[in-house]
């Protein structure tokens, strides 16, 4: 699109015609139209706004975000950051946002994996596998998500109580109070090991790039996996050993009413996550299938002619091409999953909607409460959109 | 052929060989599709076992051990003890037998239930007519207007000797159908305007449309419904009220409008540029060009995604549960509030789920068929 | 829509704008509630979306329950017709907006009378139709005797209500740690408790009793003796509409006084004709003009009792079958009873 490629004859701007004040002039019509539409919309907004201000005054409803710094007094079961009912509404809402992100991020990862598996299964040569995958996709997509969430929550409640918890292995408990796993007691050495793991991953990636460049130059394939193991696994283990190898496991145990210790996944979170993942995976499966089908049959045949196995064809030839078709609809599915996580309010997972809802109920400030919900989701949606657009641009076909 | 004899073993003649494997017929089909390798065979056997187990379990629960009706006590309270004694071994369909009319029609006057029943049939008829390609032209507009008016008359009454029924008493399946269909009927024209506006060369209009679409698509439907439920009344002048159902309907229209606008925009973008240029060359005005050349082609292109979006709205209307409107799902949940029937949620969910499934499955099969038909030229 | 030609489309938009602006001054003047109800011919009553015993549609879609009967009683006093009520189901969130905006005329939806609701939300609470308190229910197998033993327990509670705030206040005062399970809709919450998701379930004692009675084996559940809050429940109306407030208040007192004087749905007509007690004669409109002072027909209470029954009958019809005892809602003449009506004079 640079100027150099444009025919010089077109570079001259068309002569500017003087604006005639007549309805027949297209530009005048355009300006009039815009003024009219903006005036109408502005008028409606002003009217609604003045009504609202009047109503708030008459009904003596407080306005402003001052309530954010008042004591919330609402109990929250799951929190990523420390929280007490004596904390402020602001902190309570922050906990809600983090809870939303917790379910959205994990949900997106799991839904992508499950959806891809199901999408590929639908194209399987095995009749039963492809039919079951097709049945799953059809049924899951035809039932309202809310109904599915209610169903999963009912299933969670059907699990045995904590004293009869299903106990498949030491430290693992499945009950209607949720799932309990043993957890590692976190110390400085673990943080250091984690940092080393990140560093190792980055180094591996750099090494892979160099190796690929060399392969391009001399045609010799180089093994990456020994270096990868050394860097990603070996380095953290070395750091951890060097720092004294702390290793304390926090085992969950039944004390009083409930399990204490270890790591816990609440039934509300589990139900919401299962519901969102299975539902979204149904849609992602269709996206993946359409993406794979969009790759020209000739690509398959050419790859098979080169002697590649089925899996390799899929991994090396088909999926990279399908990805270009897959990414844009995938983005909207990720956005949908995030927005659908707001249904948590129906099954008692305390996400941002649930907490903002309670807040607006306690303070009576509906406008502020809903504004907060919308702002949070807009921010999350825009972030996901921006990231996926960047990724999409990165993998887009570079045309000559 | 002569060198074959040279390779022939010395002793005896060659063993009789089996006939080549059949490549047609049921056995061959089984071999190709179920047992093509050891992995495939293992997967087939495992899945087959699981399917048989699941089917047997479901049949046991839903049919063999199920209870279909329970007696009423003299005071009119259902005797559900028989059902409770099953302890989950079988379904208690009695709750559906007893409550199906409430779930389907909500608090609509009992003796007038034939009206919402006809309304549901009218809706189904409307969907079927809209699905026929023969009607894909402007005749669809009067058909929709007439049917929706008839539906309004039936539901409200107050004319033709039908008693008036206020909106608060509407409920169940008609609410679900009304919210989805009226949502589509009003959102569709809105979405066309917005999609055209988004592609408009007038900056102010373009910005307005972009802001509207991105704003609505960025937030969950729940937040819009909350807005309709608790914020709309603050927007209106004192003393002026809009019914709760109408408020939810407005929220759904605004929501659907944004999503449909993107679908329509996709259709507009898919049209070759030549169509626009040819229309301009003919000297057509903007509205002539849009109405006569662009939209008829663009809308035809987007019918399959349109149906998919509609399925989405159909399911999404269930969210009005959260603001207390008696749609199908809410009515189902309210049916089990009565102490006698508490605890039979699964049966009710299955019943409600089957209704959603029927509608959505039919629509999605239709949209898939349509897509295949429209894409036939691309198949090789 | 796209076929609309330009001028008419413009005109349409212009007309809509003018109409909406013109509507502004016309709507700003709000008619008093009673006149509006009379003009409309129906009472619009906000009720719960479904709470056993208090407000719930039956299999035929007819609303029934204790709160619903209060709506019906007010409608009978106004129109002598219990069917002239429109019920608007409201959730915990939108109930106050519905009343403030005039979407409903009165709210009869187990709402606790608190100072802030009475003053800053702009409502009036004409009467306390039901004295309640917040309590706890646990499974009997748990072996818990008092609420203080619930340290470390998981507790099911409805969010955004006074119940939730009472619970945190109480837990802080008594140094009890608990994990909340908060679900908006009561059916799900009860389902979670019965399914064993929570060790304890907290709500108004009446709600606990109703939930317990609805279970297959009520004996498996224990309601703890602790009552951690006062929950005076009653209908509410908009502030600043005194005649509506008076009417709702005296309908309630009429129901109480009728029970006290032995007036029932069965004998009210006969008592109106024959009873010689002066107060009964005044109440039932044979003497004086108490009804006119309220702005309704003089025979209002006869109609109300004949159609709905007295307080005791309403209670027995709706709440006794689901296992709620009279308790503090007995008449003041019974020990422990709090229901009391000022004199009809």
For residue C131, give the H/E element and its range.
Answer: strand C130-139
Q: Which residue has the higher pLDDT, A298 or C61?
A: A298
- The verdict on C219 touching A (C-beta cutoff 8 Å) is no
pLDDT digits (tens, 9 = 90+) for C231-278: 899 999 988 788 889 999 999 999 999 999 999 999 998 988 888 888
Query: CA torsion B237→B238→B244→B247, rounded to 10°?
Result: 10
CA A179, CA A265: separation in Å to the nearest integer? 5
Residue range C131-231 forms a domain whose CATH class is alpha beta
Residues of A with Cβ-Cβ distance to C150 under 8 angstroms: 257
Among A11-25, A68-82, A279-293, A334-348, name the one with the lowest average pLDDT. Answer: A11-25
Q: What percent of chain C has pLDDT over 90?
A: 25
Can you tell me whether residue A315 is helix, strand or coil? helix
> Would strands C200-204 and C153-157 be described as parallel, antiparallel, or unpaired?
parallel
Element (H, E) at C137: strand C130-139
Determine contact, residues A357/A369, Cβ cutoff 8 Å.
yes
Residue ranges of the domains in chain B?
93-375
Q: Is C49 in contact with B324 (Cβ distance < 8 A)?
A: yes
Q: What's the Rg (C-alpha) of chain A?
A: 28
Strands C200-204 and C123-124 turn out to be: unpaired
- Specify the pLDDT at position C314: 93
Q: Does B297 touch chain A (CB under 8 A)?
A: no
How is C219-270 classified by DSSP, letter by letter? GGEEEEEEEEEEEEEEEEEETT-HHHHHHHHHHHHHHHHHHHTT--TTTHHH
Q: Which residues of A159-182 are buried (b: 16+ CB within 10 A; e: fewer)?
A: beebeebeeeeebebbbbbbbbee
Whether C342 has a pLDDT exceeding 50, the answer reads: yes
Please check the confidence at residue C26 and state whether its pLDDT lies above 60: no
Tens-digit pLDDT profile for residues A299-311? 888 888 988 887 7
Mapping DSSP to helix (H, G, I), strand (E, B) and coil, where does residue C85 land? strand
Choose among A363, A165, A358: nearest CA to A259: A165
What is the per-residue pLDDT for B11? 58
C96:A364 CB<8 A: yes
Q: Which of B48, B204, B346 is nearest residue A128 as measured by Cβ atoms? A: B48
| Token output for B292 | 């006569």
Residue from A159, A253, A257 to probe the interface with C (highest C Cβ count within 10 Å): A257
Under the banding of pLDDT at 50, 70 and 90, the label for residue C15 is very low
Q: Do B193 and C1 touch (CB under 8 A)?
A: yes
Are the C-beta atoms of C208 and C190 separated by less than 8 Å? no
Alpha helices (H) in C59-154, listed in sequence order:
66-79, 94-100, 115-119
Closest-CA distance, C186 to chain B, in angstroms, reads 9
Cβ-in-10-Å burial (0-12, 13-18, 19+) of A207 comes to middle
Residues in contact with A268: Cβ distance below 8 Å, sequence separation at least 6, in sequence order: A77, A78, A153, A156, A344, A347, A348, A349, A350, C181
Instruction: Tell me if B368 sits within 8 A of A286, measured CB to CB.
Output: no
Contacts of B307 (CB under 8 A, 6+ apart): B363, B364, B366, B367, B370
Of A51, A128, A370, the CB nearest to B226: A370
State the smallest CA–CA distance between residue B31 and chain A in angstroms: 10
> What is the average pLDDT across A167-187?
78
Asked if B150 has any chain A CB less than 8 Å from its own CB, the reply is no
Q: How much is the CA Rg of chain C, to the nearest whole Å?
A: 23
**Residues 6+ away with beta carbon under 8 Å from B250:** B228, B232, B242
What are C202's strand-pairing partners? C136
Cβ proximity of C309 and C303 under 8 Å: no
| pLDDT for the residue C255 | 93
Q: Kindly report the CA angle at C61 between C60 and C66, in degrees rounded to 5?
A: 110
Q: Which residues of C touch B87 (CB under 8 A)?
A: none
pLDDT in tens, A207-253: 888 888 888 888 777 777 888 888 888 888 888 888 777 777 777 77
In this prediction, residue C67 has a pLDDT band, given cuts at 50, 70 and 90, of very high
> Highest mean pLDDT: which of A249-258, A350-359, B329-338?
A350-359
pLDDT category, A275, cuts 50, 70, 90?
A: very high
The pTM for the full model equals 0.81
CATH number of A89-185+248-395: 1.10.3720.10
Question: Domain locations in chain A?
Answer: 89-185+248-395
Which mean pLDDT values do the consecutive 10-residue runs of chain B (380 residues) have?
A: 50 68 74 77 87 88 80 70 74 82 83 87 88 79 88 83 80 88 88 88 87 89 87 78 84 91 85 84 84 82 82 87 82 77 80 90 85 64
DSSP C282-316: HHTTSSS-HHHHHTS-TTHHHHHHHHH--HHHHHH
- For residues A238 and A229, is the Cβ–Cβ distance under 8 A? no
Cβ contact A366–C191 (<8 Å)? no
How far is it, in rounded angstroms, from Cα C63 to Cα C74?
Answer: 15
Question: What 3 state SS string does C152-185 have?
Answer: CEEEEECCCCHHHHHHHHHHHHCCCCEEEEECCC
Across the interface, do A258 and C154 touch by the CB < 8 Å criterion? Answer: yes
Q: What is the dihedral of CA C149, C152, C155, C159, to 10 degrees?
A: 120
What is the reported pLDDT for C6?
40
State what percent of residues in chain A have pLDDT above 70: 92
The CATH architecture of the domain made up of B93-375 is: Orthogonal Bundle (1.10)
- From chain B, the residues in CB contact with A58 under 8 A are 238
Q: Which two tokens stand for residue B322?
A: 């959260």
Q: Enumerate the residues of chain A whose CB falls inside 8 A of the CB of residue C191.
A: 154, 157
Residue A1 has pLDDT above 70, yes or no: no
Report whether A76 contacts C180 (CB < 8 A). yes
pLDDT of amino acid C14: 44
Q: Quick one: which of B94, B86, B96, B84 has its CA closest to B61? A: B86
Q: Out of C59, C88, C187, whose CB is closest to B168?
A: C88
Beta strands in chain A (DSSP E): 173-175, 178-181, 183-184, 249-250, 253-255, 258-260, 263-265
- List Cβ neighbours of A250 (8 Å cut-off, separation of 6 or more): A182, A183, A184, A185, A261, A262
* Residue of A24, A53, A59, A179 for testing the chain C interface, max C β-carbons within 10 Å: A59
Contact residues, chain B, for A145 at CB < 8 Å: 315
Alpha helix (H) residue ranges in A219-296: 225-228, 235-242, 267-294
Q: Mutate which of B96, B239, B294, B340 to disrupt the C interface (most C C-beta within 10 Å)?
A: B239
- C188: tokens are 């799900």
The answer, yes or no, to whether residue C126 has pLDDT greater than 60, is yes
Is pLDDT larger for residue A273 or for residue C191?
Answer: A273
Q: Is B107 exposed, middle or buried (0-12, 13-18, 19+ CB in 10 A)?
A: buried
Average model confidence (pLDDT) across chain C = 83
Boundaries of every domain in chain C: 131-231
Residues of chain B neighbouring A360 (CB-CB closer than 8 A): 230
State how beta strands C106-112 and C221-238 pair. antiparallel
Say what the ipTM of the complex is.
0.81
The two three-digit tokens of residue B123, written as one number: 């809706």
Token representation of residue B200: 């408009």
Q: C172 near A73, Cβ under 8 Å?
A: no
Predicted pLDDT at C134 = 92
Would you call C161 exposed, middle or buried from its count of C-beta atoms within 10 A (0-12, 13-18, 19+)?
Answer: buried
Please report the pLDDT score of residue C11 as a whole number. 44
Query: Which of B44, B219, B316 is opposite residue A374, by nearest beta carbon?
Result: B219
* Alpha-carbon separation of residue C49 from A343, B250, C97 (angstroms): 19, 22, 15
Distance of CA C205 to the CA centre of its chain: 15
Chain C interface includes B241 (CB < 8 A): yes
């Amino acid at each position: 699109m640079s100027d150099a490629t444009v025919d010089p004859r077109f570079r001259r701007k068309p002569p500017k015609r003087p604006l005639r004040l007549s309805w027949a002039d297209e530009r005048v019509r355009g300006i009039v139209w815009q003024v009219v539409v903006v005036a109408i919309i502005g008028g409606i907004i002003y009217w609604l706004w003045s009504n609202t201000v009047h109503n708030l005054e008459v009904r003596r409803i407080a306005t402003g975000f001052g309530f954010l710094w008042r004591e919330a007094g609402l109990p929250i079961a799951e929190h990523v950051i420390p929280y007490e009912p004596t904390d402020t509404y602001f902190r309570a809402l922050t906990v809600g946002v983090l809870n939303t992100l917790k379910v959205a991020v994990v949900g997106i990862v799991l839904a992508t994996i499950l959806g891809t598996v199901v999408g590929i299964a639908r194209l399987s040569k095995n009749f039963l596998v492809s039919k079951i995958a097709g049945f799953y996709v059809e049924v899951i997509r035809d039932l309202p998500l809310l109904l599915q969430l209610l169903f999963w929550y009912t299933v969670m409640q059907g699990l045995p109580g904590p004293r009869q918890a299903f106990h498949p292995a030491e430290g693992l408990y499945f009950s209607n109070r949720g799932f309990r796993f043993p957890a590692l007691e976190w110390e400085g050495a673990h943080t250091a090991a984690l940092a080393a793991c990140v560093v190792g991953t980055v180094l591996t990636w750099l090494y892979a790039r160099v190796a690929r460049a060399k392969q391009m130059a001399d045609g010799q394939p180089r093994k990456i996996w020994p270096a990868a193991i050394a860097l990603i696994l070996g380095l953290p283990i070395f750091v951890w050993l060097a720092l004294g190898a702390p290793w304390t496991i926090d085992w969950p145990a039944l004390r009083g009413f409930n399990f204490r210790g270890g790591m816990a996944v609440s039934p509300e979170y589990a139900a919401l996550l299962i519901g969102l993942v299975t539902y979204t995976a149904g849609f992602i499966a269709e996206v993946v299938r359409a993406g794979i089908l969009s790759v020209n049959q000739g690509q398959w045949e050419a790859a098979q002619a080169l002697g590649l196995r089925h899996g390799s064809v899929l991994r090396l030839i088909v999926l990279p091409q399908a990805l270009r078709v897959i990414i844009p609809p995938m983005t909207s599915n990720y956005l949908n999953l995030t927005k659908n996580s707001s249904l948590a309010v129906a099954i008692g997972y305390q996400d941002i909607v649930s907490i903002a809802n309670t807040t607006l109920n306690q303070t009576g400030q509906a406008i502020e409460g809903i504004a907060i919900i919308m702002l949070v989701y807009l921010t999350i949606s825009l972030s996901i959109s921006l990231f996926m657009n960047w990724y999409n641009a990165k993998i887009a076909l570079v045309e000559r | 052929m002569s060198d074959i004899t040279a390779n022939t073993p010395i002793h005896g003649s060659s063993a009789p060989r089996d006939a080549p494997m059949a490549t047609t017929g049921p056995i061959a089909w089984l071999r190709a599709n179920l047992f093509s390798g050891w992995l495939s065979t293992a997967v087939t056997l495992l899945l087959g076992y699981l399917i048989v187990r699941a089917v047997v379990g479901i049949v046991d629960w839903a049919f063999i051990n199920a209870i279909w009706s329970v007696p009423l006590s003299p005071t009119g309270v259902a005797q559900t003890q028989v059902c409770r004694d099953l302890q989950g071994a079988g379904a208690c369909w009695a709750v559906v037998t007893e409550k199906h009319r409430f779930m389907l029609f909500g608090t609509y006057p009992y003796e007038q239930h034939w009206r919402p029943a006809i309304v549901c049939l009218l809706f189904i008829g409307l969907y079927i007519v809209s699905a026929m390609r023969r009607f894909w032209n402007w005749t669809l507009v009067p058909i929709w207007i007439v049917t929706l008016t008839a539906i309004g008359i039936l539901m409200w009454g107050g004319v033709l000797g039908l008693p008036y029924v206020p909106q608060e008493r509407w409920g169940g399946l008609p609410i679900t159908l009304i919210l989805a269909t009226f949502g589509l009927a009003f959102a569709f024209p809105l979405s066309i305007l917005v999609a055209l506006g988004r592609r408009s060369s007038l900056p102010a209009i373009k910005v307005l449309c972009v802001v509207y679409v991105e704003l609505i698509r960025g937030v969950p439907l729940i937040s819009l419904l909350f807005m309709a439920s608790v914020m709309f009344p603050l927007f209106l002048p004192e003393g002026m009220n809009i019914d709760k159902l109408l408020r939810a309907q407005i929220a759904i229209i605004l929501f659907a409008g944004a999503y449909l606008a993107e679908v329509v925009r996709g259709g507009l973008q898919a049209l070759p540029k030549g169509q626009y240029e040819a229309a301009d060359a003919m000297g057509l005005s903007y509205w002539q060009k849009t109405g006569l050349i662009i939209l008829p082609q663009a809308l035809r292109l987007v019918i399959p995604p349109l149906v998919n979006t509609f399925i989405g709205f159909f399911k999404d209307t269930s969210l009005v549960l959260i603001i207390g409107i008696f749609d199908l799902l809410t009515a189902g949940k309210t049916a089990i509030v009565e102490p006698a029937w508490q605890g039979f949620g699964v049966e009710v969910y299955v019943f409600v789920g089957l209704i959603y499934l029927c509608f959505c499955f039919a629509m999605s099969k239709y949209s898939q068929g349509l897509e295949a038909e429209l894409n036939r030229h691309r198949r090789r | 829509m796209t076929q609309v030609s330009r001028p008419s489309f413009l005109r349409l938009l212009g007309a809509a704008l003018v109409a909406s602006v013109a509507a502004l001054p016309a709507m700003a003047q709000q008619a008093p509630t009673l006149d509006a109800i009379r003009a409309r011919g129906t009472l619009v009553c906000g009720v719960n979306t479904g709470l056993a015993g208090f407000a719930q549609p039956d299999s035929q879609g007819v609303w029934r329950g204790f709160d619903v009967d209060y709506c019906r009683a007010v409608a009978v006093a106004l129109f002598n017709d219990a069917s002239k009520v429109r019920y608007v189901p409201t959730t915990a969130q939108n109930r106050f907006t519905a009343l403030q905006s005039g979407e409903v005329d009165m709210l009869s939806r187990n709402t606790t009378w608190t100072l802030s609701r009475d003053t800053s939300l702009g409502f009036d609470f004409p009467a306390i139709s039901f004295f309640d308190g917040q309590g706890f229910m646990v499974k009997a197998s748990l072996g818990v005797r008092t609420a203080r033993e619930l340290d470390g327990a998981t507790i099911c509670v409805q969010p955004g209500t006074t119940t939730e705030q009472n619970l945190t206040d109480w837990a802080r005062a008594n140094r009890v740690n608990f994990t909340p399970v908060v679900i908006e809709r009561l059916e799900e919450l009860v389902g979670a408790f019965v399914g064993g998701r929570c060790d304890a379930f907290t709500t108004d004692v009446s709600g606990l009793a109703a939930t317990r009675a609805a279970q297959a084996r009520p004996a498996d559940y224990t309601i703890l003796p602790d009552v951690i809050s006062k929950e005076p429940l009653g209908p509410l109306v908009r502030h600043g509409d005194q005649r509506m407030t008076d009417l709702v208040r005296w309908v309630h007192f009429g129901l109480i006084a009728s029970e006290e004087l032995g007036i029932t749905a069965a004998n009210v007509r006969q008592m109106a004709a024959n009873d010689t007690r002066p107060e009964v004669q005044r109440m039932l409109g044979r003497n004086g003009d108490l009804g006119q002072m309220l702005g309704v027909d003089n025979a209002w209470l006869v109609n109300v009792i004949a159609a709905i029954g007295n307080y005791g009958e309403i209670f027995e019809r709706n709440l006794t079958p689901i296992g709620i005892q009279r308790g503090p809602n007995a008449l003041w003449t019974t020990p422990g009873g709090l229901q009391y009506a000022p004199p009809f004079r």
